């Protein structure tokens, strides 16, 4: 049976690791270069045209994947803190969202912890990268991220042309001026990729966090009131927040 002093001994280390990993995830999401990808293939205008290799950059950071990783990182922290607080307190209340009980008999100390964590999570969710509204995005299952429709652009090449300013005579050679003309030689097909999230998805997550914040505050106001029973609150919380 786990004892309270054992939980206290490991709590600080788990908090430190969780904060470090969450900070790294947050910083990665702010780097647009890691969220963006592209795929370009080239087709020459005719068989004699120059052949160019395809170009591609993979999306390195994906919003939904980072959300799942964040949930996994914080679940450990939420669980160890829950175990300690359940043992420390007898003042408890239920956390209810939209009439449904999400957590039962929550100690005041853990409700206070939740309030702090949810404030940080709200900041995290509000700063999730949003898909560029100037583009039309569709989810690409094969790339596991969002992608734009292909856009074709023209590749041109400057071709020299001769312009005869004066015809040749018996005494003088012809006067010829060289100029360059832009001629289409091929076409680029470009598809943009992104690991960012639709604005609707982010708004839904913000609403969920804010609802839970309100429920926790109500529970704290209502709350009034060894050997430790291990608590598993993290899975329920993130199962709701990031469903």
pLDDT digits (tens, 9 = 90+) for 198-214: 999 999 999 999 999 99
pLDDT reported for residue 86 = 79
**Mean pLDDT, the chain, integer:** 88
Q: How far apart are CA 131 and CA 208, in angstroms?
A: 20
Count Cβ atoms within 10 A of the Cβ of residue 151 and give its class: 0-12 exposed, 13-18 middle, 19 or more buried. Answer: exposed
Classify residue 36: in a domain, yes or no. no
Tell whether 121 and 84 lie within a shared domain: yes
Angle at 117 between CA 194 and CA 77, to 5 degrees: 90
Q: How far apart are CA 61 and CA 58, in angstroms?
A: 9
Residue range 111-140: mean pLDDT, rounded: 95
Residue range 75-96: mean pLDDT, rounded: 84
pLDDT digits 0-9 by tens, 133-176: 999 999 999 999 999 999 999 999 999 888 877 777 777 787 87
Residue 154 falls in which region: left (phi positive, over 0), alpha (psi -120 to 50) or beta: beta
Count Cβ atoms within 10 A of the Cβ of residue 38 and give its class: 0-12 exposed, 13-18 middle, 19 or more buried. Answer: middle
pLDDT reported for residue 89 = 63
Q: In the chain, what percentage of residues exceed pLDDT 90?
A: 47
Classify residue 35: in a domain, yes or no. no
pLDDT digits 0-9 by tens, 34-65: 989 999 999 998 888 889 999 999 998 898 88
φ, ψ (nearest 5 deg) of residue 159: -110, 130
Query: String of b and e for 188-199 (b: at least 16 CB within 10 Å)?
Result: beebbbbbbbee
Tell whether 4 and 80 lie within a shared domain: yes
Q: Where do we find the tokens 């309030």?
A: 115
pLDDT at 221 over 50: yes
pTM of the predicted structure, to 2 decimals: 0.62
Q: How far apart are CA 210 and CA 130, in angstroms?
A: 19
Tell whether 26 and 70 lie within a shared domain: yes
Q: How many domains does the chain have?
A: 2
How many Cβ atoms from other residues are within 10 Å of residue 146's Cβ? 24
User: Using N-to-C axis directions, what is the helix angle for 233-241 and 199-222, rounded to 10°?
Assistant: 140
Tell whether 184 and 218 lie within a shared domain: no
Classify residue 14: in a domain, yes or no. yes
Tell whether 187 and 204 lie within a shared domain: no
Q: Which residues pair with 165 in a beta bridge?
A: none
pLDDT reported for residue 212 = 97
Q: How far apart are CA 133 and CA 146, in angstroms?
A: 13
Tell whether 121 and 170 lie within a shared domain: no
Classify residue 134: in a domain, yes or no. no
Range of the domain at 81: 1-30+62-129+196-243
pLDDT at 125 over 60: yes
Q: Alpha carbon of 22 to those of 17, 189, 201: distances in Å?
A: 8, 38, 20
Q: Which residues touch 116 (CB under 8 Å, ≥6 apart)?
A: none
pLDDT reported for residue 98 = 93
């Amino acid at each position: 049976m786990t004892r309270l002093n054992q939980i206290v001994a490991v709590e600080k280390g788990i908090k430190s690791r969780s904060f470090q990993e969450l900070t790294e995830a947050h910083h990665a999401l702010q780097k647009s270069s890691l969220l963006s990808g592209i795929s370009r293939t080239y087709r020459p205008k005719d068989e004699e045209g120059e052949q160019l290799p395809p170009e591609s950059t993979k999306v390195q950071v994906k919003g939904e994947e980072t959300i799942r990783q964040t949930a996994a990182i914080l679940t450990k922290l939420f669980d160890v803190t829950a175990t300690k607080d359940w043992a420390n307190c007898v003042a408890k209340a239920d956390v209810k969202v939209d009439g449904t009980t999400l957590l039962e008999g929550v100690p005041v100390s853990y409700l206070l912890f939740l309030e702090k964590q949810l404030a940080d999570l709200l900041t995290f969710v509000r700063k999730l990268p949003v898909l560029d509204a100037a583009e039309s995005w569709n989810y690409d299952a094969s790339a596991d991220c969002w992608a734009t429709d292909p856009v074709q652009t023209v590749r041109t090449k400057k071709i020299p042309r001769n312009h005869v300013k004066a015809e040749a005579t018996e005494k003088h050679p012809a006067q010829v001026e060289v100029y360059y003309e832009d001629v289409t030689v091929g076409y680029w097909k470009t598809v943009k990729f992104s690991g960012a999230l639709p604005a609707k998805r982010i708004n839904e997550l913000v609403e969920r966090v804010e609802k839970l914040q309100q429920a926790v505050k109500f529970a704290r106001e209502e709350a009034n009131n060894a050997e430790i029973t291990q608590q598993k609150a993290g899975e329920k919380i993130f199962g709701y927040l990031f469903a």
